C-alpha cells in the first residue's frame, strides 16, 4: 500500500508507553506513524525510534521520523518528514535515498507551489487551526485545504497530502468536504485515555466522511 492510500497519520512524541501506544492506535485504524521529538538529539532518540520502527514493521504500517534524515537511515525507518525550517527536501532525499518516503510540511500557497516540484512523496497542509504542537503558527483555515486539494490533484501524478490541525471525529467532516482524504492526528490520540477506541472513532468518522463525499461526486 502506497503512502497515498493511507488515511490516518499519527504524529506522536516519545512517551514511556510508546510501543503499546503505537500498537493501540494502529489497531484502532492509524495507518502511518511519525515520531516527532523536537527537544531530544537524534543520537539519544535512536533507541526509541528503533523501537517504534520495529512495532510499526510488525503491524505493517510505515514509520516516519521527524526532521532528521540521518536518523531515518540509522533506525531503518520507512521515511522522514521535514518542515520548512529543517534540511531541504532535496537534501533529505539525497540522504535517505530513493527507496524511503520523504514528506514536507506546507503552510501557505508559495510553500505549496515549491513543494510540488520537490522530490517528495507527500505534503502536509495546515494547521487548519492554531495548535499547541505548532506554537505561534496561525491557522490556515479550510480555504488552504481546498487550494491544496486542487493543486495536488492537478499535478501528474497527483500528490498525496495530509491535513494537520485538530483532527477529531467532529472536525474531519468539514476537512473532507474541503477536499482532503487524509488527516494527521496528534492530541486526539496522544491525550486519549483509550487510544485504540479514540483511533477507531476518528477513523470511522473519517471513512464515513470520505464515503459521503465520494457519493456526492458520482
Neighbours of 19 (CB within 10 A): 16
Instruction: Provide the β-strand partners of residue 64.
Output: 34, 79
Residue with cell 500557497: 109
pTM of the full structure: 0.94
Neighbours of 154 (CB within 10 A): 10
Instruction: CATH number for 3-217: choose from 3.20.20.70, 3.10.310.30, 3.10.450.200, 3.30.70.100.
Output: 3.20.20.70
Q: What is the pLDDT along the chain (218 residues), one digit of tens a residue?
A: 799 999 999 999 999 999 999 999 999 999 999 999 988 877 789 999 999 999 999 999 999 999 999 999 999 999 999 999 999 999 999 999 999 999 999 999 999 999 999 999 999 999 998 776 666 667 789 999 999 999 999 999 999 999 999 899 999 999 999 999 999 999 999 999 999 999 999 999 999 999 999 876 65
Retrieve residue 87's grid coordinates: 534540511
Amino acid at each position: 500500500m502506497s503512502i497515498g492510500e493511507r488515511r490516518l497519520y499519527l504524529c506522536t512524541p516519545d512517551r514511556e508507553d510508546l510501543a503499546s501506544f503505537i500498537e493501540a492506535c494502529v489497531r484502532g485504524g492509524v495507518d502511518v506513524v511519525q515520531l516527532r521529538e523536537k527537544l531530544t538529539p537524534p543520537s539519544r532518540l535512536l533507541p526509541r525510534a528503533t523501537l517504534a520502527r520495529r512495532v510499526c514493521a510488525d503491524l505493517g504500517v510505515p514509520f516516519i521520523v521527524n526532521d532528521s534524515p540521518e536518523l531515518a537511515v540509522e533506525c531503518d525507518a520507512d521515511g522522514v518528514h521535514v518542515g520548512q525550517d529543517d534540511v531541504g527536501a532535496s537534501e533529505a532525499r539525497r540522504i535517505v535515498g530513493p527507496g524511503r518516503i520523504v514528506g514536507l510540511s506546507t503552510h501557505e500557497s508559495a510553500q505549496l507551489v515549491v513543494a510540488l516540484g520537490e522530490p517528495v512523496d507527500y505534503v502536509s497542509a495546515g494547521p487548519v487551526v492554531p495548535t499547541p504542537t505548532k506554537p505561534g503558527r496561525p491557522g490556515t483555515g479550510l480555504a488552504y485545504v481546498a487550494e491544496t486539494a486542487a493543486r495536488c490533484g492537478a499535478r501528474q501524478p497527483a500528490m498525496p497530502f495530509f491535513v494537520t490541525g485538530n483532527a477529531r471525529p467532529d472536525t474531519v467532516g468539514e476537512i473532507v468536504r474541503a477536499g482532503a482524504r487524509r488527516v494527521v492526528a496528534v492530541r486526539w490520540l496522544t491525550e486519549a485515555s483509550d487510544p485504540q477506541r479514540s483511533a477507531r472513532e476518528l477513523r470511522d468518522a473519517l471513512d464515513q466522511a470520505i464515503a459521503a463525499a465520494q457519493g456526492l461526486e458520482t
